């Protein structure tokens, strides 16, 4: 069983986590609705295969194959695309890392950030499945929904 936090007003996802302990590290202050999600949905969202949202009126989680940015199943085809993706999310990861050093997952996320910043993207073989590449190189991949930045 995995978990997700959703904005109570618009149902947008704020955080996904594989354990309750990871959820408990973040203050909720009553602004989010916590829902259980299946491990398979958690992994599909993490891998950008699906999107997740809370239907606020019905109070249920909706998981779909809708387009995303980058789109579902997106594989960077060159170093510029991978750099472009990192440029879009780098500030969120850095902000999270700076203000959450006390969290249990902070060290693991810092390792991921350092790897993303340091890897020679020009030397990689494209198209590349970034999550698989990270795993193959002993680095745990983190989806941006695994860090709560707001």
- Residue in the structure block whose two tokens are 């993303």: 116
In a domain, 59, yes or no: yes
- pLDDT bracket for residue 67 (50, 70, 90): low
Mean pLDDT for 96-103 is 85
Do 48 and 99 fall within a single domain? no
Total-model pTM: 0.71
Please give the Cα distance from 51 to 64 (Å, whole number): 5
In a domain, 72, yes or no: no
Specify the pLDDT at position 143.
Answer: 86
Domains held by the chain: number? 2
How many other C-beta atoms are found inside a 10 Å radius of the C-beta of residue 126? Answer: 12
Please give the Cα distance from 124 to 62 (Å, whole number): 35
In a domain, 124, yes or no: yes
Do 90 and 127 fall within a single domain? yes
Name the nearest CA neighbour of 68 among 83, 89, 93. 89
Look up the domain containing 24 and give its range: 2-64
Q: Which of 23-32, 43-52, 100-109 has the lowest mean pLDDT?
A: 23-32
Do 60 and 92 fall within a single domain? no
Residues of the chain with pLDDT > 90, as a percent, come to 48
In a domain, 69, yes or no: no
Please give the Cα distance from 5 to 80 (Å, whole number): 32
């Amino acid at each position: 069983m995995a978990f997700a936090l959703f904005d109570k007003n618009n149902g947008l996802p704020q955080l996904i986590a594989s354990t309750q302990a990871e959820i408990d590290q973040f203050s909720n202050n009553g602004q989010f609705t916590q829902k259980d999600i299946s491990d398979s949905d958690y992994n599909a969202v993490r891998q950008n295969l699906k999107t997740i949202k809370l239907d606020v009126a019905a109070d249920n989680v909706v998981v779909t194959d809708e387009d995303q940015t980058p789109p579902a199943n997106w594989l960077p085809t060159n170093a510029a695309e991978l750099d472009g993706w990192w440029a879009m999310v780098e500030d969120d990861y850095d902000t999270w890392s700076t203000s959450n050093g006390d969290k249990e997952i902070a060290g693991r996320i810092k390792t991921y950030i350092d790897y993303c910043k340091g890897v020679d993207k020009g030397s990689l073989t494209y198209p590349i499945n970034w999550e698989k590449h990270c795993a193959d190189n002993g680095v745990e991949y983190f989806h941006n929904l695994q860090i709560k930045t707001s």
